[in-house]
Structure 1
Amino acid sequence: MRLDILSALNREREKRSAVAVVTPLTGEGQRLVLADAVTGDPLAEDLSRAFRAGRSRIVAHEGGEYFIDVHVPSPRLVIIGAVHIAQALAAMGERLGYDITIIDPRTAFASPERFPTVVLRAQWPEDALPDIGLDRFTAVAALTHDPRIDDPALTAALTAGCFYVGALGSRKTHARRLERLAEQGIPADILSRIRAPIGLAIGAISPEEIAVSILAEITQVLRKGEDL
């Protein structure tokens, strides 16, 4: 790999950008491609698939072969609310390779004894989230049912363009939530990105089943949703 490309690659990885190094298997012309700059690229379709899957691959195009070496940041899952669902969701999310952070200002819930293996922030979301640095490779799941806690987190997630934004609650609860957030000036098309009631409709009842439905929906959006 050329030194200039390696240096640029390292810079983008430090910024948690999705980037690929495209190398012709015959001839020269190695280049760096950012996920944001795929449109119009000769290998746009193949690059989009590679970024979505997070996997490197060899592709054929116009008689030539190219190796697309994909570098995608590790996905993060920020859980708002240290509730029973969060315990199951954190454990399952870790198994799937997510970096987990749980935020809840209620210290009775946000205790290391209940969440011994993940990052735990006993803070209000508006205080914790700026330090975390939400981005398009972050999923946010709001689980408290408390607008004072959930609403600021949802607003921050939407503003940051997180790839998944979900919130627990009934359709009636979500309708009221949308009204509150709209009063803050958030456009309807942005609010429509909130997935609520959270999780795929699989008839989940227990905290563990709800966690499964949430992770299934997150996976669906990550792998089949809009291009990152």
Structure 2
Amino acid sequence: MRSISNIRRDYTQAGLDTKDLTLEPFALFERWLQNVIDADLKDPTAMTVATVDKSGQPSQRIVLLKDFSEKGFVFYTNTGSRKAQDLADNPKISLHFPWHLLERQVKVCGSVQPLTKTEVAKYFLTRPKPSQIAAYASSQSRPISSKQVLLAKFNEAKAKFANGDVPLPSFWGGYRVVPHEIEFWQGGEHRLHDRFLYTKNQQGIWETKRLMP
């Protein structure tokens, strides 16, 4: 392997200035997400979810954003997963959207609110049936001896639900990430990146400030 210390590139696509900002961060997030979708980038809604367990150990994984609004950012998961266990002990969370090909990143910090069963069921019904069945087959984050064992569990569930709808698993749920700060990062020449941080004040109003790169 060649030395990785010299792997770098310059960022020249665009800039981010105060005139580009919106009164609240969700409008700017929607604009940026639409830019990613229009650019036909793969997995435009992929985001890193960072949690911290009760011992203080951080953990990260990639999940898909499934909805967002002024209320927050929504994702779904097995409630027995490591991330769900972390969030049961510590509801604080961070999200990161790595839109590198557009030289952009978005970081979200906040806390989670569990979604209602009605909200979870409504989304679960929209999933392809194989994905619904996979939810039953996988005890997420638990050890398993081989891929063959997992496939056997999937085929067992597939046979069980072959002639009917797949009911919502009792161990499947979702979260709404309610942010208190959102940072927008746009790459700049000579590493002079543009960074703007939205922070919600005690009155619930979003304030912005430019950060040094």
More helix by share: 1
Q: Do they superpose with TM above 0.5?
A: no
More strand by share: 2
Higher relative contact order (CA 8 A, sep 6+): 2
TM category (shorter chain) comes to under 0.3
